[in-house]
A and B are shown apart, each in its own frame.
Chain A
């Protein structure tokens, strides 16, 4: 069959490869090239300016704010989504809860299927200083002094944005852990029970090591998403107030389509590409060495 079909596999793969080439791979390299030019959408042609965009970027305080916010996004998301997701999954897979767990699991997953724009506009209401549920709730439980304009205050804006992402994604990540925990042979838990191990011990000594692989995968996904996040910050604050909640992706958008500095936007994209590449390589390497153990 292999000799008869010398060319056939290429026929099958021609269109899919073409799609990846045109829309995924070529643009990456084009983008690196574009980082060395200066132009706006209204002018003819582009000016080659060498590394000037990069030099400007490294002097740009907004770039550092965005980078800091992305790092905050990564840390908080890993703790809440991967850590929290694992804990939620472990509780739901406990024998005591098991009967009800499909109900909880399904409901926890719901935010992940709703469009982010719906969630963002909804949370805009929830954070609203006058009618927002959050402030109303704080008033109700007597914590009036904590109420504030969550999205309008430059010290809380980014945290309010990050919180929405956690609300959306914990249940989603938990599903991966639930699937992994279901694949752990029950005998392991039974043997541990015979040895008198309690819940926490079983969690630390059986569950955690057995879900190592999926922990790597979900961490990789979460870190990558947190570094490239666009929707929540753009929709909730647009990077404001005063660029305080800008992340790299929203800054790319702002540079390109608000400030009309297309080359500068391409430069931020290149930096984002380098960051995600480094993280992918580190994670692949960690994943490999984790597997070999």
Chain B
């Protein structure tokens, strides 16, 4: 095949081709710098103090102030981190579990109302949380959940559930019926089939679903500022806003706080890219 190609299209480095290649690389590298430079600037400036940020915007720090990071951590970031970890892990575990339950129900049975439930699930993909802000605010107050972490966890589960359920259902549909029939013959009941056969078999897709939900819960902002009032219960996005208000003039510490918040997610993404991209591919098909 390759020989064929070279015969027809002999590799002569023509001028036109070189110019084209230079243009393309200029574009790609230019865009790369637009993405990376602000992040690089954030990291180096987080080691400076305010007056140095003012004096020399572009330069590397004269003295690397690691103290900024300690200050940021002790001035609230630590607390916001803990809250974010609690909210994210509880909502992710419950979202994936409920998603798997629903996916099993919607993929292994034929029953009345099946299509309606499927349409209802797909329809809720289109609903954005903003629209329900006022009724949810009232709901949280009447349930006594306002200003507690549950006020975030429960809606996060509900709004991530449709996508998670459909993603897992797509995978369950690809599992042949023979598997569960063999399990029934071995004396498994339907719940054992779900817990001991389907859950272990679909771990990769559950992992993808978990990462997608974690990403949502970790970054969600609107509910986080509306349903939480106490500073001690804030998650990172709402907390950082507060943090900015408190540190009005202490820019180095503020930037250190941003860096602390961004770096774990960027590294997690770099390591878990495969699962992330699979989630997007699955979401693209379903969305």
To the question of whether A and B form a pair in one complex, the answer is yes
* Structural contact, B102 and A16, CB atoms closer than 8 A: yes
CB-nearest residue of chain A to B41: A133
* Structural contact, A276 and B126, CB atoms closer than 8 A: yes
* Structural contact, A114 and B128, CB atoms closer than 8 A: no
CB-nearest residue of chain B to A273: B131
Residue A43 CB within 8 A of the other chain: no
Report the minimum CB–CB distance from A96 to chain B (whole Å): 7
Q: Which B residues, 123 to 150, have Cβ-Cβ distances below 8 Å to chain A?
A: 124, 126-128, 130-139
**Residues of A within 8 Å of B, CB-based: how many?**
88
Residue B72 CB within 8 A of the other chain: no
Q: Which A residues, 225 to 282, have Cβ-Cβ distances below 8 Å to chain B?
A: 228, 230-231, 234-235, 249, 252-253, 256-257, 262, 265-266, 269, 272-273, 276-277, 280
Residue B101 CB within 8 A of the other chain: yes
Residue A175 CB within 8 A of the other chain: yes
- CB neighbours of A194 from chain B (8 A): 8
Residue B287 CB within 8 A of the other chain: yes
Residue B120 CB within 8 A of the other chain: yes
Give the complex CA separation of A88 and B114 in angstroms.
41
Chain-B contact segment, one of A54-62, A118-126, A152-160: A118-126
* Structural contact, A13 and B120, CB atoms closer than 8 A: no
- Of B31, B101, B130, B284, which contacts A269 at CB under 8 A? B130
- Of A5, A19, A115, A123, which contacts B158 at CB under 8 A? A19
Residue A76 CB within 8 A of the other chain: no
Task: Name B's interface SS.
Answer: helix
Interface string of B165-187 (1 = CB under 8 A from A): 10000000000000000001000
Residue B273 CB within 8 A of the other chain: yes
- CB neighbours of B57 from chain A (8 A): 131, 133, 136
* Structural contact, A133 and B38, CB atoms closer than 8 A: yes
- CB neighbours of B20 from chain A (8 A): 199
Give the complex CA separation of A161 and B104 in angstroms.
43
Report the minimum CB–CB distance from B23 to chain A (whole Å): 10
- Of B28, B42, B221, B277, which contacts A116 at CB under 8 A? B221
Interface string of B219-257 (1 = CB under 8 A from A): 101100010000000001110110010000001001100
Interface range on chain B (Cβ under 8 Å from partner): 35 or more
- CB neighbours of A117 from chain B (8 A): 219, 221, 236-238, 240-241, 261
Identify the interface centre among A25, A171, A262: most chain B CB within 10 Å of its CB: A25
CB-nearest residue of chain B to A172: B280
* Structural contact, A96 and B21, CB atoms closer than 8 A: yes
- CB neighbours of A79 from chain B (8 A): none
* Structural contact, A136 and B58, CB atoms closer than 8 A: yes
Report the minimum CB–CB distance from B42 to chain A (whole Å): 5
Give the complex CA separation of A34 and B131 in angstroms.
12
Q: Which A residues, 151 to 191, have Cβ-Cβ distances below 8 Å to chain B?
A: 167, 171, 175-176, 179-180, 190
Interface string of B21-36 (1 = CB under 8 A from A): 1001001100110111
- CB neighbours of A31 from chain B (8 A): 131-132, 134-135
Give the complex CA separation of A218 and B285 in angstroms.
11
19 residue pairs bridging A and B, Cβ less than 8 Å apart? A12-B102, A13-B101, A17-B117, A20-B162, A106-B273, A110-B36, A111-B35, A113-B276, A116-B237, A117-B237, A123-B38, A133-B37, A167-B34, A224-B128, A230-B221, A256-B134, A265-B134, A273-B131, A276-B128
Known interface pairs A24-B159, A107-B35; 4 further A-B residue pairs with C-beta atoms within 8 A, sorted by A's residue number: A22-B139, A91-B24, A179-B281, A221-B287
Taking Cβ atoms with an 8 Å cutoff, the residues of A that contact B are: 1-2, 5-6, 8-13, 15-17, 19-20, 22-28, 30-31, 34, 88, 91-92, 94, 96-97, 104, 106-111, 113-118, 121-123, 125-126, 130-131, 133, 136, 167, 171, 175-176, 179-180, 190, 193-194, 199, 214, 217-218, 220-221, 224, 228, 230-231, 234-235, 249, 252-253, 256-257, 262, 265-266, 269, 272-273, 276-277, 280
Q: Which 10 A-B residue pairs are closest in the complex by CB-CB distance?
A: A12-B105, A23-B158, A16-B102, A27-B132, A9-B109, A30-B135, A27-B135, A13-B105, A228-B128, A117-B237
